[in-house]
Amino acid sequence: MRLFFFSLLFCAAPSWAWDDGTTPFVVSPDAVVERMLYLAQPKAGERLVDLGSGDGRIVIEAAKRFGAKGLGVDIDPRLVKLATDNAKRAGVESLASFEVKDLFETDLHGVSVVTMYLLPEVNLQLLPRLIDQLKPGARIVSHDYDLGPWPFDEMIELGLAEKMVGPLGRSRVFLWVVPADARGRWAADLPELGGRWQFDIGQKFQILDVDARAGDSKMVVRGARLRGEEIRMAVTGQVGGKGYNVLFAGRIADRRIEGTVRVSDGESYRTIPWKASR
């Protein structure tokens, strides 16, 4: 027996190819399915793609529970037919479709959610395609295996005595949110808070390295987070001779950030709008 490929589906069946060419079908535990959908959070009107869709459960469940339009791709025509029949029985054939296709030839432009249960080396081969084609804010959910150098945003681990493939007795479900491009020098005018602010941001995936200044004063960046298009930066320091804790929260859209600033001087706090340009 040799491993052929894993069905990407959260609950999907990993497929194993035997020397006689048959492909046994193994269903992942229901608990894993629930966790994958919980992390993916598909929404009505969004597009979901399941790479290696097996019997189609993740696409079908996303359609039934969330109204998401999904496409499952698999290289096994028998599984594609099975998934198509399952979608009809579930009454979601208008939302859930399936195709015989190589996952490396699947177009991911405009897709909001990608789900997968693939071998680690396949995940790594897919990584450039995921980064290049998915828009900021898109979610990627993988069962058991991560994306190598790309740190995950969230991970759920659960014990499963009934699991008989992959890491035995346990499953991990990973979530990545495709980050916006935050790199560069950003400037913001905040007359209520010392005037001109400047942020120099370096970025590797969603991990940020931020240098902040208010006028001529170098500020201390205590934390920075990028999740899709949403950016948060916690900054502290002296502005005009007075100490402040400042939380910047905004959304990146091309070369602009718009959001709010929460300012605290240790005695009170206030919230003001802010805009930054690159």
CA 55 to chain centre: 23
For the chain, the domains span 2-177, 184-277
Q: Give the CATH fold of the 184-277 domain.
A: Lipocalin (2.40.128)
Count Cβ atoms below 10 Å from residue 45 Cβ, excluding itself: 10
- pLDDT given for residue 165 in this prediction: 66
Tens of pLDDT, residues 22-60: 333 455 677 888 899 999 999 999 999 999 999 999 999
Tens of pLDDT, residues 122-172: 999 999 999 999 999 999 999 999 999 999 999 999 988 776 666 667 899
Domain 2-177 CATH assignment equals 3.40.50.300: no
pTM, entire model: 0.87
> What is the SS3 assignment for 51?
strand
b vs e for 233-259, b when ≥16 Cβ sit within 10 Å of the residue's Cβ?
A: bbbebebeeeebbbbbbbebeeeebeb
Tens of pLDDT, residues 105-132: 999 999 999 999 888 999 999 999 999 9
Bridge partner residues of 237 (DSSP): 244
* Alpha-carbon gap, residue 20 to 83, rounded angstroms: 23
- pLDDT given for residue 228 in this prediction: 97
> What is the SS3 assignment for 200?
strand
